[in-house]
Structure 1
Amino acid sequence: MYDPRRGYPIIVPCVLYDDPPAAARWLSAVIGVREVVRASLPDGWVGHVEMERDGLIILLGRRGGQFAGTSSLTQVFVEDLDRACEQAVAGGGVILEPPEDRPWGVRQTVVADPEGQRWALTRHVRDTDPATWYGRVLGPVPG
């Protein structure tokens, strides 16, 4: 899962909402995407929802916290995360969140480009069982 070498999209837009499940229902009805992954805590709080259509993924994240002050970011898989960070800073960008291993099997950093757009630079590290990070696979996911 989340491995671009096996078909997961290399670029994944992430749109941030106060209520990702409501956004998922609306997007499903309007543009025909289907929910394939949902990450929710035992109390029902939903952190993100992944929607799929024709092999493409849209990630619906929760607004606020580390993503306060923005309405979207774009996740891009890279081969060399450290080099991408160096290039981001050398080109006038800012590292907002240092590279860190995530429970869902990726190493990830969030950077802002010179105009303030946010990018989640990501590298697949290992496959994981979504249940270990409160995720639930609801349908086939590319890669």
Structure 2
Amino acid sequence: METVRTDSPQEQAARMHAVTPHLVCAGATEAIEFYQRAFGAEVMFLLPMPDGKVANASLCINGSSVMLVDENVEMGMTGPKHLKGTPVTIHLMVDDVDAWFGRAIDAGATVDMPIADMFWGDRYGIVEDPFGHKWSLATHLRDVSIEEMQAEMAKLIC
């Protein structure tokens, strides 16, 4: 694997938002390939280590940056599989949640929460990728007031 750069450092910085996920993956090269198939990721930067593992990579998924690195337990960089799960879900707003969800499943993700129309106005579901990271996917369907959300939530809780 060789170093890849399709964006300049300035272009990469412009794509980063105030918060950019930085994922640790056991098998980062395979994770990159999965994200390309599942979410249409574009590799913006890839820096391999001499042993072929990924020292740093930057992907663009639906207009936003996601960084990733190979797991290195000795250095304290562990992925969700090593930790036996994750409390973190990465949220991805898309134009067609059903199509994106299906593509993720076809690429090897598993359903954590099936897609459904939600009381807050989104069509929404959650998948877990083969590396243990959870991704919620949503398409906004309608605007809902806070009062409507609270009323619908109360029906679910009671």
The structure that has the greater radius of gyration is 2
Report the TM-score when normalising by structure 2.
Answer: 0.41
Q: Which structure's relative contact order is higher, taking Cα pairs within 8 Å and 6+ residues apart? A: 1
TM-score, normalising length: structure 1: 0.44
In terms of fraction of residues, the more helix-rich structure is 2
Higher strand share: 1
